[in-house]
Structure 1
Amino acid sequence: MADNIKNFSVEYNPINKSDVFTSGDYITGRITLELTKECKIESLCVKLKGKAEVKWTEHYGRTTVTYHKKEKYFSVKQFFIQEGQGKNIVDKGCHVYPFTFQVPTDDLPSSFRGKFGKILYTLEANLSRSMRMDSKAKTPFTFINKRNHHPGLMTPQQSTIDQKMKLFTSGEVAMDVNIPQTGFHQGEGMKVVASIQNKSSRDIKPKFCLYQKNSYFAKGKRKVETNDILKEVGEVIPHSAGQTVTRIITIPPTTCMSILNCNIIKAEYRLRVYLDVKYASDPEIKFNIVILPALEGSYVEQPPAYFGSEAFPNFYTTTDSFPQNPAYTGPSAPPPPYMSYGAYPSLTGFDGKT
């Protein structure tokens, strides 16, 4: 029996240039349903959902163990058609059902993607008909937590190291490094001042590396993933010489923000300042860095909120369902009545994003 649904989709309207939402924002959009003939529908609804999920496998000899955990934040539902409310016959043609939700005002983690987990916010539409599989449509949106609640963001950091050279290098090197604060916004410059004393027998180079450390937690285990964000190299410092090196390291605007308020995913950053010494162990200093959202008014292109199935092959399906949290049944505005192309011939004002 041929399906009479030609198109079923859900879209939302961006509210800013960066196409991101934050706590308390209203998200508006529409479900589009196009039918090739008249159809009886049992129910039609849309959900606003937020969740985190991690999954990875480890091998112990011939045994493979899967580590998997979910953290659910909210699930808010609006119905356009409900079972038991009349005959629910929808005419042939294209029908548009507008909706409005308010993003919960809780302290939610920002959208995130990594090799072994994700934090995902979505709009999901579901259409039920008798004797048929449900039709589903889903679109993700990017959520950014803009609350600067991390302690010590403006605290300067300073550290020193003094190391004797061994094996093929003699003498010693010393380094004193300071940065003006702990928290930096996307796109902001980080001033690094390093006072270096090279009392060794070799020339040395100061190097700088900003890297991301992602941690995933499930079943009492932790999985760690590290990624270099940027690397920079300073000028050579001759042996038996001293120099103060000042470097402005710009946080890439598309760098994912620190995730410190999720129980199963942590996204942390380190600044590593080290001295490249040939044939010797490199002296190094590390600082914890917190990446904050871009300052208001600056345009930052955010990384996509959804990264497909490559991190979870053959794992995600469109049948995931989460119980509705009663705490979130109130904030969303009641949905307006649906529109059809017959009643509203011009819908060019819609600029939804899939």
Structure 2
Amino acid sequence: MTIKNVSIEYDAINSKNIFTNGDTINGRIIVEVSKQTEIKSLIFIAQGAARVCWSEHYGQYQHYVYWSKEKYYDVKHHILRKADGTEVLGKGRHVFPFSFDIPDRKLPSSFKSCIGKVVHKLKAELKQSGKFTEKAKVHFTFVSKADMDIPGLMEPQYACKDKTLQVFGSGTVAMDVRTKRMGYEQGEALQVTAEIENQSSRSVKPKFILYEKKSYFAQGRRKVCTHEILKEKIEAVASGGNETVTKVITIPRELPPSILNCSIIKLEYRLKVKMNELNKCRTEKS
């Protein structure tokens, strides 16, 4: 084997090794050969794509697999390609630099789960006559710039809920919930105001839950997964009490960014406010 190794690497542009729309990635393809070798071409490839796949069972014998994929960019640069069809590499280590400009348009951020993923990667392909193509690849982390044009992103949010207790108590509980806006960044403080009117016979205890919702779409089907990120509680509101409570929730800095610009994967974060009645009868607003 004359090709000992083909690898690809790139330079970080910040301490987190994260790239975004319009950034330039500089790197190199490294080829090691054991002796003088002829090659047909050396190609650099940059790709961004999403894919989902899951299975569902219907009864004992019916089993369906749903999948879909979406491509965002597929860029190829010929690093080496001779007009006569061959290029000769001498024995040793050869370094071929490359530069790639990430498209400056709306692209979904890097994402990975057991059902779907959004991948941004760099590849190298070395071709020889009559031999298998040597390949190398490396993934890079892409985080999309915040899209401030999403309708309602900066507008105040409001929801209300009335509940009649029938099992462990009687009467009604009403709740109005407000936030200053819909969109927040990691590390920001989310201030929630809840107006609670407890006209029931029991105390109720508000609970604030921040959770993530992942939605996957394929072949006309949707699969949804949710996961609680954090819970915050406040003091109970007594029977007959009317209270306005404010809770400040800090969005964890390590959360992946929302994905709202992919047709087959959606990652969003939601706030749910519950009111637990003492004997486990509960009302909730999400």
Distance 1:203 1:98 in 2: 68
CA-based RMSD of the aligned residues comes to 1.8
Kindly tell me: are residues 5 and 231 of structure 1, through their superposed partners in 2, closer, same or farther at Cα, counting changes over 3 Å? farther
For residues 45-90 of structure 1, the C-alpha deviation after alignment (integer angstroms, 9 at most, x for no partner) is: 1111111111111122312211111111111111122265454121
Q: Does 2:107 correspond to 1:108? A: yes
**Structure 2 residue runs without a partner (length 5+):** none
State the one-letter code of the partner of 2:22.
G
**Uncovered stretches (5+) of structure 1, i.e. residues with no partner:** 287-354
Paired residue type of 2:87: N
Q: 1:205 to 1:85 in 2, by over 3 A?
A: farther
Q: Within 1, Cα distance between the matches of 2:181 and 2:199?
A: 30
- Report whether the alignment pairs 1:249 with 2:242: no
Shift of 1:149: 2.1
Residues 280-291 of structure 1 mapped to structure 2, 5 A cutoff: 280-286=280-286
Match of 2:117 in 1: 118
- AA aligned to 2:264 is I
- The aligned counterpart of 1:34 is 32
SS of the aligned residue for 2:228 comes to: strand
Structure 1 residue 251 displacement after superposition? 1.1
SS at match of 1:263: coil
Task: Say whether residues 1:65 and 2:64 are aligned partners.
Answer: yes
Which residue does the alignment assign to 2:95? 96
Other-structure match for 2:16? 18
| Correspondence list, 1:204-353, <5 A | 204-286=204-286
**Between the two proteins, what is the percent identity of the paired residues?**
46
Which has the higher mean CA deviation after the structures are superposed, 199-208 or 161-170?
Answer: 199-208
User: Which 10-residue stretch deviates more, 46-55 or 202-211?
Assistant: 202-211
Cα distance between partner residues in 2 of 1:113 and 1:285:
30
Write the distance in 1 (CA, Å) between the matches of 2:131 and 2:225: 43
Instruction: Please name the residue that 1:164 is paired with.
Output: 164
**Paired amino acid for 2:228:** D
Query: Which residue identity is paired with 2:249?
Result: I
Give distance in 2, aligned partners of 1:47 and 1:178.
Answer: 48
What amino acid sits opposite 1:217 in the alignment? F
Q: Is the contact between residue 169 and residue 280 of structure 1 (CA under 8 Å) also seen in structure 2?
A: no
> Which protein, 1 or 2, shows the higher relative CO under an 8 Å CA cutoff with sep ≥ 6?
1
CA shift digits 1:255-300 (9 cap, x unpaired):
12221211111112221011111445422222xxxxxxxxxxxxxx
For the 8 Å contact 1:198–1:239, the answer to whether it is kept is yes
Number of equivalences: 284
Which has a greater percent of strand? 2
TM-score using structure 2 length = 0.92
